[in-house]
Structure 1
């Protein structure tokens, strides 16, 4: 059995911990670390409520500063963890990866690294941080699987599946993310407000015509008719997976679309126009220096607190167009998740559930050796079938629409 360390203690970490607790035959001890142990202890209590005291007894809470690579490395060595799932703030990714390079532990994350001093760096985003460490991972024999959440992550596997099994040539990849759920708060973000707003305040980059294209946020919209959630408007948005998929499929257009309601757009626009989404410090009349974006984060609800009242479903998928035997073809591979079902199973809302289950599936594949590749890779660089099969058994089944037929993605 393989000991595992979870970095982070938010809503996604809660899902990761619950799913690890359901697979203790593979993981042995599961350790959870955050700046303070309080949230880690709360996650363990949640596991105790859902899975029982025996499962919770195999989980341990730790305090660590994840920006201190040496401290994280010491924790990895102390716990004997051979796999690290990083679901903390995207600001700590490179620090945690460095700790894995120091110790030889496998590294898995769910989002691209961000420099807190910069917003929307020059593409390709992975080239600014992660890819610079690829050679060191290979030299050290360290497995590093980047972006193993849902998007990025599962949607990348969907693109690879379509390319491998359904198309001879890929001409476009459109990732569509729709949350058709509702909660009881006047306004909230579904994940860390600071990361959420930073994601949407910069340039919208897409890969089209063999080059990077730029747009403003909410400039380009498209209506999508999707399974279960129906007709939804989504906006062209900059996102992590565009930057890796465009490297693997350079001749295809790669775009990311996310659904936003009018209320979100109105609040976002007001906050941005007032300067409250700025990451640059300002000084108050009393002489106190504050970062407006961090103040907004402090007053908004914790995304994890939305779970008890969340209702409705998500639909996230990848539409891949191209040719097969010289004929135009398209396939849409997708998943539908239910907020209420996620809460009943693991005490989290559906957005956290879709982000938290995939890295555990990836960790299981690393533990089994199937994905223990001893180098750095994105999900689309790895065989998709084992990953999707794991997800199907873990609560995130995939479906495919092709030639007008909607069916389950069957194991082969």
Structure 2
């Protein structure tokens, strides 16, 4: 049975989601795309048709919606008759979109944790501040809600579950490592929405270690990682969404997130922050104009979606799990390598958008097939990862495993 889909958002990730839904519309059926700006949705639809992505005849339609208004989203869900909502808009709209899905009884998924525009880096666990407060409502209404089902969070959570279940008797640590070894050729840019990107790195770096929340500052703790394909890379411990659910589901393990940064990014970020240009507090110019510095920075930086044509190189993102097996210390790296140019050639987006956009489509297919239609709210590590990997292998993000026995496909 086909399950019709509504995509909320019209950025680079939404473009990937639309292409992948179109490639699998024998399972996902009608496809609707909605955002505040109708023309952006229409541009994505044009891209899908240009690439000939539609697997079969079907609906592919654009809509305008204010996703911060739950009633508007609910009305659109009813109008389109969709069964699954894939929310890849700014994280500020998660709760109103989730509430609309609960009200209308349709499945919900997102790729990042909810944020309030006026709050940065709230007290952990972050999911407990917003999404998890709707767990009971989802269960009562039988609504499937899969939180954080991008790549990180998302696929890396599934990697953790798989690595622990398959290779360990007891887990001691979970380290997510995200390396983008690609180059976009611009003097400076962020790979996704600058506003969200900078907010992520201006707050406290939370990790779960020794059975408690630990705090550091950004770029305080660095480590070199020797990874497949991309080689030796410097990464820094960073606060991130998946730490907050994995720490809840694996409280016995240390849980950390590491992201790669070059010296140039760190230098520019530090200058912007020290000048107050990453602030969300309004300032008044000499001409009497009230502006928000962070939004000005966002306005002058390249649109992340514009980076795609020139992007080259690869990403390596995965999860290192350590623990014991048969009384011996064991370490396993479950990972994926993606290529920016391959992503652009297929869907017109760069690799960061590709890795974020493919997984929710795989999850939607699993909901449509009944495998992940669990009628409650879950994070990805609470679901069986194997069917997820099987679809990801098939639609563009193959999973590999590296350990003392070698480097191989996960199911080899």
TM-score normalised to the size of structure 1? 0.98
Q: Runs of 4+ in structure 1 displaced over 2 angstroms?
A: 52-58
Unaligned runs of 5+ in 2: none
Deviations along 1:253-307, whole A, 9 cap, x unmatched? 0000000001100000000000000111112222221111111111111100000
CA distance in 2 between counterparts of 1:196 and 1:321 reads 29
| Aligned CA distance change for structure 1 residues 271 and 89 (closer, same or farther; 3 Å) | same
The Cα of 1:410 is off from its aligned counterpart by: 1.1
CA distance in 2 between counterparts of 1:105 and 1:286 reads 49
Equivalenced residue count is 411
Whether the aligned pair in 2 keeps the contact of 1:84 and 1:106 (CA below 8 Å) is yes
CA distance in 1 between counterparts of 2:55 and 2:374 reads 32
The Cα of 1:55 is off from its aligned counterpart by: 5.6
CA distance in 1 between counterparts of 2:159 and 2:54 reads 37
Aligned 1:368-379 pairs, distance under 5 A: 368-379=369-380
CA distance in 1 between counterparts of 2:313 and 2:223 reads 22
| Aligned CA distance change for structure 1 residues 238 and 54 (closer, same or farther; 3 Å) | closer
Unaligned runs of 5+ in 1: none
Residue 270 of structure 2 aligns with which residue? 269
Whether the aligned pair in 1 keeps the contact of 2:16 and 2:349 (CA below 8 Å) is yes
| Aligned CA distance change for structure 1 residues 53 and 377 (closer, same or farther; 3 Å) | closer
Residue 302 of structure 1 aligns with which residue? 303
Whether the aligned pair in 1 keeps the contact of 2:334 and 2:402 (CA below 8 Å) is yes
Residue 142 of structure 1 aligns with which residue? 143
The Cα of 1:58 is off from its aligned counterpart by: 2.3
Select between 261-270 and 284-293 the one with higher mean Cα deviation: 284-293
Select between 44-53 and 248-257 the one with higher mean Cα deviation: 44-53
Whether the aligned pair in 2 keeps the contact of 1:21 and 1:51 (CA below 8 Å) is no
1:207 corresponds to 2:215: no
CA distance in 1 between counterparts of 2:34 and 2:69 reads 13
Residue 14 of structure 1 aligns with which residue? 15
SS in 1 for 2:307: helix
| Aligned CA distance change for structure 1 residues 208 and 52 (closer, same or farther; 3 Å) | closer
Whether the aligned pair in 1 keeps the contact of 2:163 and 2:332 (CA below 8 Å) is yes
Whether the aligned pair in 2 keeps the contact of 1:48 and 1:55 (CA below 8 Å) is no
Residue 189 of structure 1 aligns with which residue? 190
CA distance in 2 between counterparts of 1:23 and 1:236 reads 37
SS in 1 for 2:171: strand
CA distance in 1 between counterparts of 2:29 and 2:367 reads 14
CA distance in 1 between counterparts of 2:404 and 2:227 reads 15
SS in 1 for 2:101: helix
Whether the aligned pair in 2 keeps the contact of 1:48 and 1:56 (CA below 8 Å) is no
| Aligned CA distance change for structure 1 residues 51 and 372 (closer, same or farther; 3 Å) | same
Residue 30 of structure 2 aligns with which residue? 29
CA distance in 2 between counterparts of 1:279 and 1:352 reads 25
SS in 1 for 2:27: helix
Whether the aligned pair in 2 keeps the contact of 1:45 and 1:56 (CA below 8 Å) is no
| Aligned CA distance change for structure 1 residues 52 and 366 (closer, same or farther; 3 Å) | closer
Whether the aligned pair in 2 keeps the contact of 1:200 and 1:238 (CA below 8 Å) is yes
Deviations along 1:326-346, whole A, 9 cap, x unmatched? 111010000000000000000
The Cα of 1:404 is off from its aligned counterpart by: 4.3
The Cα of 1:402 is off from its aligned counterpart by: 1.6
CA distance in 2 between counterparts of 1:221 and 1:20 reads 38
1:348 corresponds to 2:344: no
Deviations along 1:219-266, whole A, 9 cap, x unmatched? 000000000000000000000000000001001000000000011000
Select between 280-289 and 385-394 the one with higher mean Cα deviation: 280-289
CA distance in 2 between counterparts of 1:183 and 1:148 reads 26
The Cα of 1:165 is off from its aligned counterpart by: 1.1
Residue 253 of structure 1 aligns with which residue? 254
CA distance in 2 between counterparts of 1:369 and 1:215 reads 42
Aligned 1:56-71 pairs, distance under 5 A: 58-71=59-72
CA distance in 1 between counterparts of 2:55 and 2:24 reads 13
Aligned 1:128-139 pairs, distance under 5 A: 128-139=129-140
SS in 2 for 1:51: coil
Aligned 1:12-411 pairs, distance under 5 A: 12-51=13-52, 58-410=59-411
CA distance in 2 between counterparts of 1:280 and 1:56 reads 49
SS in 1 for 2:402: strand
Whether the aligned pair in 1 keeps the contact of 2:23 and 2:54 (CA below 8 Å) is no
CA distance in 2 between counterparts of 1:310 and 1:355 reads 16
CA distance in 2 between counterparts of 1:313 and 1:215 reads 29
Whether the aligned pair in 1 keeps the contact of 2:4 and 2:83 (CA below 8 Å) is yes
CA distance in 1 between counterparts of 2:55 and 2:270 reads 49
Whether the aligned pair in 2 keeps the contact of 1:47 and 1:56 (CA below 8 Å) is no
